[in-house]
Structure 1
Amino acid sequence: MITDPELAQLATRARELILRTAHHAGAGHVGGSMSAADLLVTLYFDELRIDPARPRDPDRDRFILSKGHCALGLYVVLAMRGYFDEAELADFDKGGSRLQMHPDMTKLPGIEMSTGSLGQGLSAGVGMALGARMGGDASGSGSRTYVLLGDGELQEGMSWEAAHVAPRYRLGNLTAILDHNGLQQYGWPPGDGDRGDRRDPWAGADLRAVFTGLGWRVLEVDGHDIAAIRAALAEARTSGDTGRPTLVLANTRKGRGVSFTEMTIKWHTGAPSDDQLAAALAELAGVGGTPRSNSLGEA
């Protein structure tokens, strides 16, 4: 079994590749990809029942990146997991590439849903979980569905329609994970400039109470604590016995891992300069990373 320190090192490696890829492409959603890195690594290297050699295995678990603008983070972890060679990350955001700014399920193995128009992923997850149960998995103990949400996208009404109906269908095989990093690209006025107040889009709202009231099982964790994430996902698997879908409310920090990207709205999207990349890689190496790999054609 993979250990917590090994997963933490993989998450550091993922952050390195996120920054290298954005630097090479000159673009990318860095902040949200880095806030979700620990969640994605834990899912793909420990939790999900998947086989990169058989990406369409009917018995696989399903994962949906509802906050599809953070496809960069997902691509990096898919490459690390063996769905495609890491060298292909150099094609990110190029014309004709399989690795566009938002994921395309028709082009890349391991992508279950094309996302990017925010607020739609949980509805698709409800459909996949319901389909698995109607296909014979009444207890939810077999194929499971996981959906990674952004806190900003919960302002979309479609998310709440799905949140309302999932407990009614007793979808114990559905786990939603909320990357609650407290910063969004656009905010509510009044605020700084024409984009409003972009701080926590749910400031003052008790999301745990809201989802619990709808019938969800809610597990709140530090979204950068590997052991806590693993424990929450393991507990979520037991929801098949209760028929209650689970929300893992993961409190995270946007741009996590590098001092100048962490909780800075500028890094919602963008690319590091040569000097910034070098500084970031040195900082990541200081927390157990292993800056290496010339797979993107860089030192």
Structure 2
Amino acid sequence: METIKSLQGIIAFVKVAEAGSFSKAAEILGVSKSHISKNIRQLESDLGIALFVRSTRKVQLTHMGERYLQTCRESLNNLDAARQEILDLSETPRGSLRVTLAGVFGEDYVAPVVVEMAKRYPELKVELNFSTRIVDLIEEKFDVAIRIGHLENSSLLAQKIASRFEYIVCTKGYLSTAADLNEPADLINHNCIGERSSWSFKKRGKSFQVPISGNFKSNNPRVLHKAALAGLGIARLPGSYAFEDIKRGRLVSVLENFSEGKKDIWAVTPARHKQNINVKLFIQEVKKHLADDFRHVLF
């Protein structure tokens, strides 16, 4: 019973040790700093040892604190594993589903699936985390990541859910007043907008890079999309941003004969989540949604 009473303090202790800060740990756990301090003071009192050396600038573990942290982490991981095992045996989605993804593909084509899952299964708590960085699924405890292109070899499992194609686009108005554009080398005479200093192309099966420049830089595809629609210059955009405007004639696609081709989009999961009903249903629903409603779209 004493261990159960100490559980909150143990969780707080691990979070403070990992974050190196009482304030950051409180933010992660969604409680006040004073609540964290109280839990850890009680834990230290129960153990009869000091776990941290506190100063105005930082928090450091004592020698005994370091040993206790290793034991606590193992214990909490075992609790998580036991919970995961039960979830994996369940036939109805419940518990948590944490997904990391990015961009308009995630916003417009994946998020609606997750919203429907949350409506259908009230006991399922879903979290969509939009981030352009490569998240460590295991360390940060995510269930699924949506990733694009070549995947490095790892212990993660990957399932293809769609394909992506990047278009080189501009308005007809821009083309009518700009220099000729017959091959990638001609881009030197054009206002190419975006954050990259070169674009890649392919000719006769061989890839090559072409340096580009322009008077507008941004790492936000939505902003580049709007700039291209405004006639500012030429942008390189994924299909999820551009194909509707190409279809309606608001943008034109150029240099398609030199395209690199499509890149696959993957749902990536830790191997231990292979049988998890939440993960299995999420991937199944996303694949079905994309295949049924967007079978001819290269995102």
Give TM class, smaller chain.
Answer: under 0.3
- Structure 1-normalised TM-score? 0.22
User: Per residue, is there more strand in 1 or in 2?
Assistant: 2
- Structure 2-normalised TM-score? 0.22
Which structure has the larger Rg over C-alpha atoms? 2
Q: Which has the higher contact order (CA 8 A, sep 6+)?
A: 1
